[in-house]
Structure 1
Protein backbone atom coordinates (compact mmCIF):
# COMPACT_ATOMS: atom_id res chain seq x y z
CA UNK A 1 0.00 0.00 0.00
CA UNK A 2 1.19 3.51 -0.86
CA UNK A 3 1.94 5.91 1.94
CA UNK A 4 0.07 9.26 2.00
CA UNK A 5 3.32 11.15 2.28
CA UNK A 6 4.32 9.87 -1.20
CA UNK A 7 1.21 11.46 -2.70
CA UNK A 8 2.13 14.75 -1.06
CA UNK A 9 5.73 14.48 -2.30
CA UNK A 10 4.55 13.76 -5.87
CA UNK A 11 2.22 16.76 -5.71
CA UNK A 12 5.02 19.01 -4.43
CA UNK A 13 7.33 17.68 -7.15
CA UNK A 14 4.70 18.27 -9.85
CA UNK A 15 4.04 21.81 -8.62
CA UNK A 16 7.77 22.54 -8.47
CA UNK A 17 8.24 21.21 -11.98
CA UNK A 18 5.32 23.30 -13.29
CA UNK A 19 6.74 26.38 -11.57
CA UNK A 20 10.21 25.75 -13.02
CA UNK A 21 8.75 25.38 -16.54
CA UNK A 22 6.77 28.60 -16.08
CA UNK A 23 9.90 30.49 -15.00
CA UNK A 24 11.86 29.03 -17.91
CA UNK A 25 9.16 30.25 -20.30
CA UNK A 26 9.27 33.72 -18.75
CA UNK A 27 13.04 33.86 -19.16
CA UNK A 28 12.72 32.83 -22.82
CA UNK A 29 10.23 35.64 -23.44
CA UNK A 30 12.44 38.13 -21.62
CA UNK A 31 15.49 37.04 -23.61
CA UNK A 32 13.56 37.52 -26.85
CA UNK A 33 12.41 40.99 -25.81
CA UNK A 34 15.93 41.97 -24.78
CA UNK A 35 17.31 40.78 -28.12
CA UNK A 36 14.79 42.95 -29.98
CA UNK A 37 15.62 45.92 -27.74
CA UNK A 38 19.32 45.40 -28.37
CA UNK A 39 18.77 45.37 -32.14
CA UNK A 40 16.75 48.59 -31.88
CA UNK A 41 19.45 50.28 -29.80
CA UNK A 42 22.23 49.15 -32.13
CA UNK A 43 20.31 50.66 -35.05
CA UNK A 44 19.88 53.91 -33.09
CA UNK A 45 23.63 54.00 -32.37
CA UNK A 46 24.38 53.40 -36.06
CA UNK A 47 22.09 56.29 -37.06
CA UNK A 48 23.66 58.55 -34.44
CA UNK A 49 27.16 57.70 -35.69
CA UNK A 50 26.10 58.51 -39.26
CA UNK A 51 24.68 61.84 -38.10
CA UNK A 52 27.91 62.67 -36.26
CA UNK A 53 29.88 61.91 -39.43
CA UNK A 54 27.61 64.22 -41.47
CA UNK A 55 27.97 67.00 -38.88
CA UNK A 56 31.76 66.64 -38.85
CA UNK A 57 31.76 66.94 -42.64
CA UNK A 58 29.67 70.11 -42.35
CA UNK A 59 32.10 71.55 -39.79
CA UNK A 60 35.04 70.84 -42.10
CA UNK A 61 33.18 72.42 -45.03
CA UNK A 62 32.34 75.49 -42.92
CA UNK A 63 36.07 76.06 -42.33
CA UNK A 64 36.77 76.14 -46.08
CA UNK A 65 36.81 79.74 -47.40
CA UNK A 66 35.59 78.70 -50.85
CA UNK A 67 32.60 76.96 -49.33
CA UNK A 68 31.78 80.00 -47.18
CA UNK A 69 31.96 82.24 -50.23
CA UNK A 70 29.62 79.97 -52.16
CA UNK A 71 27.13 80.07 -49.29
CA UNK A 72 27.33 83.85 -49.13
CA UNK A 73 26.75 84.14 -52.88
CA UNK A 74 23.66 81.93 -52.60
CA UNK A 75 22.34 84.48 -50.10
CA UNK A 76 22.90 87.26 -52.66
CA UNK A 77 26.00 88.77 -51.11
CA UNK A 78 28.70 90.31 -53.32
CA UNK A 79 32.19 91.63 -52.76
CA UNK A 80 32.65 95.37 -52.36
CA UNK A 81 34.27 95.73 -55.81
CA UNK A 82 31.51 93.76 -57.57
CA UNK A 83 28.27 95.18 -58.95
CA UNK A 84 25.03 93.31 -58.41
CA UNK A 85 22.82 93.10 -61.48
CA UNK A 86 19.32 91.82 -61.06
CA UNK A 87 17.82 89.61 -63.75
Structure 2
Protein backbone atom coordinates (compact mmCIF):
# COMPACT_ATOMS: atom_id res chain seq x y z
CA UNK A 1 0.00 0.00 0.00
CA UNK A 2 1.27 3.47 -0.91
CA UNK A 3 1.57 6.03 1.82
CA UNK A 4 0.50 9.66 1.21
CA UNK A 5 4.00 10.89 1.98
CA UNK A 6 5.35 8.99 -1.03
CA UNK A 7 2.99 10.90 -3.32
CA UNK A 8 4.36 14.17 -1.97
CA UNK A 9 7.93 12.93 -2.37
CA UNK A 10 7.22 11.88 -5.97
CA UNK A 11 5.80 15.33 -6.74
CA UNK A 12 8.82 17.03 -5.13
CA UNK A 13 11.17 14.74 -7.08
CA UNK A 14 9.33 15.47 -10.34
CA UNK A 15 9.48 19.21 -9.70
CA UNK A 16 13.20 19.00 -8.84
CA UNK A 17 13.86 16.98 -11.98
CA UNK A 18 11.92 19.48 -14.12
CA UNK A 19 13.85 22.35 -12.55
CA UNK A 20 17.19 20.61 -13.16
CA UNK A 21 16.28 19.97 -16.81
CA UNK A 22 15.25 23.61 -17.21
CA UNK A 23 18.57 24.80 -15.75
CA UNK A 24 20.47 22.38 -17.97
CA UNK A 25 18.66 23.79 -21.00
CA UNK A 26 19.48 27.32 -19.91
CA UNK A 27 23.17 26.43 -19.61
CA UNK A 28 23.07 24.90 -23.09
CA UNK A 29 21.62 28.12 -24.52
CA UNK A 30 24.22 30.19 -22.65
CA UNK A 31 27.05 27.99 -23.93
CA UNK A 32 25.76 28.36 -27.50
CA UNK A 33 25.56 32.15 -27.17
CA UNK A 34 29.04 32.32 -25.67
CA UNK A 35 30.43 30.22 -28.52
CA UNK A 36 28.88 32.63 -31.03
CA UNK A 37 30.28 35.63 -29.16
CA UNK A 38 33.71 34.03 -29.03
CA UNK A 39 33.67 33.37 -32.78
CA UNK A 40 32.64 37.00 -33.43
CA UNK A 41 35.40 38.32 -31.17
CA UNK A 42 38.02 36.06 -32.76
CA UNK A 43 37.03 37.36 -36.20
CA UNK A 44 37.26 40.95 -34.94
CA UNK A 45 40.69 40.15 -33.50
CA UNK A 46 41.87 38.72 -36.84
CA UNK A 47 40.66 41.87 -38.63
CA UNK A 48 42.39 44.10 -36.08
CA UNK A 49 45.64 42.14 -36.41
CA UNK A 50 45.47 42.46 -40.20
CA UNK A 51 44.90 46.21 -39.85
CA UNK A 52 47.87 46.51 -37.49
CA UNK A 53 50.05 44.63 -39.99
CA UNK A 54 48.94 46.99 -42.79
CA UNK A 55 49.64 50.04 -40.64
CA UNK A 56 53.07 48.71 -39.66
CA UNK A 57 53.85 48.20 -43.36
CA UNK A 58 52.77 51.79 -44.04
CA UNK A 59 54.99 53.08 -41.22
CA UNK A 60 57.91 51.09 -42.57
CA UNK A 61 57.28 52.46 -46.06
CA UNK A 62 56.97 56.01 -44.69
CA UNK A 63 60.47 55.73 -43.25
CA UNK A 64 61.90 54.72 -46.63
CA UNK A 65 63.27 57.79 -48.48
CA UNK A 66 62.66 56.24 -51.90
CA UNK A 67 59.00 55.65 -51.07
CA UNK A 68 58.58 59.19 -49.79
CA UNK A 69 60.18 60.59 -52.94
CA UNK A 70 57.81 58.54 -55.09
CA UNK A 71 54.82 59.87 -53.16
CA UNK A 72 56.00 63.46 -53.52
CA UNK A 73 56.65 63.02 -57.23
CA UNK A 74 53.10 61.71 -57.70
CA UNK A 75 51.92 65.02 -56.28
CA UNK A 76 53.88 66.83 -58.99
CA UNK A 77 56.84 68.11 -57.00
CA UNK A 78 60.31 68.20 -58.50
CA UNK A 79 63.77 68.91 -57.12
CA UNK A 80 65.37 72.33 -57.50
CA UNK A 81 67.73 71.19 -60.24
CA UNK A 82 64.99 69.47 -62.26
CA UNK A 83 62.70 71.06 -64.82
CA UNK A 84 59.05 70.08 -65.02
CA UNK A 85 57.87 69.35 -68.57
CA UNK A 86 54.23 69.01 -69.45
CA UNK A 87 53.14 66.05 -71.50
Q: TM-score scaled by structure 2?
A: 0.96
Shift of 1:3: 1.4
SS of alignment partner, residue 85 of structure 1: coil
Q: Superposition RMSD on alpha carbons, in Å?
A: 0.7
Number of residue pairs the alignment of both structures matches: 87
Structure 1's consecutive aligned runs of 4 or more residues displaced over 3 angstroms after TM superposition are none
Shift of 1:83: 1.1
1:24 match: 24
Q: TM-score scaled by structure 1?
A: 0.96
State the Cα deviation string for residues 19-78 of structure 1 (Å, max 9, x = none).
000000010011011011101101111111111011001000000000000000000111
Please give the alpha-carbon distance, in whole angstroms, between the structure 2 residues aligned to 1:7 and 1:83.
105
Unaligned runs of 5+ residues in structure 1 are none
SS of alignment partner, residue 27 of structure 2: helix
